Amino acid sequence: MITAQSIAQDLAKVRATNPLVHSITNYVVMNNTANALLAIGASPIMAHAEAEMAEMVAITQALVLNIGTLSPYWVSAMQVAAQEARRLQKPIVLDPVGVGATTYRKQTAQQLMQTAPPNIIRGNASEIKALADVATQQAKGVDSTESADAALLAAELLAKNFDCVVCISGETDYVVSTQGIIAIDNGHPLMTKVTGMGCTATALIGAFAAVNPNYLEATANAMAIMGIVGEWAAAKAQGPGTLQLHFLDGLYGLDETIIQKLLKTSEKTLAR
């Protein structure tokens, strides 16, 4: 179980060590995720050229792969980066954006997992089910069409088969591993009106995985911070535009007192 203290400890480590997070991510969210990493105390770098992948991975502390805007060149770069990160034992976080929408996305995600299985996967319920080859509704763009609860068995399957942590984003966020399941009930509906919040969560997971080798804890701590800061920002915001402003400020000013006040988390057991 994570606590306000454990979350604050990881946050302090991020701020003290300023980990460099390499994100091969989509055009839509680059600015959002880079600013979020800076606000939390990490450093972003977003390099996509295959020719520099090995050198880039060598100087970073975590690798985030996001398939939101795919191209063959980016896929090749992702594969090289993932192989090098795996060789150097650096955490790999995969965000299978819209993986169920097209055959190309699903094949790309599967290839990446076969090339160098990620340590952490974060997606919505439909993405996690599609990634696990579990029957699901036809995905609509990158929006979730199912509840997070419906994907828990798929997440457990992925966690066992790939020895990884799987995070399902939703009204309740679930962090699943062979160690157990952590449910996080923080967040606010207004967050769904801002593009890239899920991708931002993935980037923050990369920062926390860079400082905490217990990837279940690192993922849960990052997701708790996303939800807590989202709630805090929504209380101050007048709409989606000001939510983004207050969200970055919230990441920058977050402390253990705010975490202690707002944290809502529990452990969960899968029904058999």
pLDDT at residue number 148: 60
pLDDT at residue number 146: 59
pLDDT at residue number 261: 96
Q: Give the Cα separation of 94 and 123 in Å (integer).
A: 9
CA distances from 95 to 43, 105, 116, 121 (A): 19, 11, 14, 6
Lowest-pLDDT choice from 15-29, 81-95, 135-149: 135-149
Q: 10 has which bridge partners?
A: none
> Which residues 6+ apart lie within 8 Å of 243 measured at CB?
190, 191, 193, 194, 230, 233, 234, 237
Which pair of structure tokens corresponds to residue 145?
A: 């069409």
Which pair of structure tokens corresponds to residue 176?
A: 């699943």
What the chain holds in terms of domains, given with CATH numbers, is 4-268 (3.40.1190.20)
| HSE of 22, CA atoms in CB hemisphere, 13 A | 24
pLDDT digits (tens, 9 = 90+) for 185-202: 999 999 999 999 999 999
Amino acid letter at 151?
A
A 10 A CB-CB count for 215 gives 22
Tokens 């701020």, residue? 15
Q: What are phi and psi of 176, to 5 degrees?
A: -115, 135
Q: Give the Cα separation of 62 and 49 in Å (integer).
A: 17
Which pair of structure tokens corresponds to residue 198?
A: 């899920």
Compute the residue count for the chain. 272
Please report which confidence band the pLDDT of residue 209 belongs to, taking 50, 70 and 90 as the band edges: very high
Predicted TM-score of the model (pTM): 0.93
Classify 37 as helix, strand or coil. Answer: helix
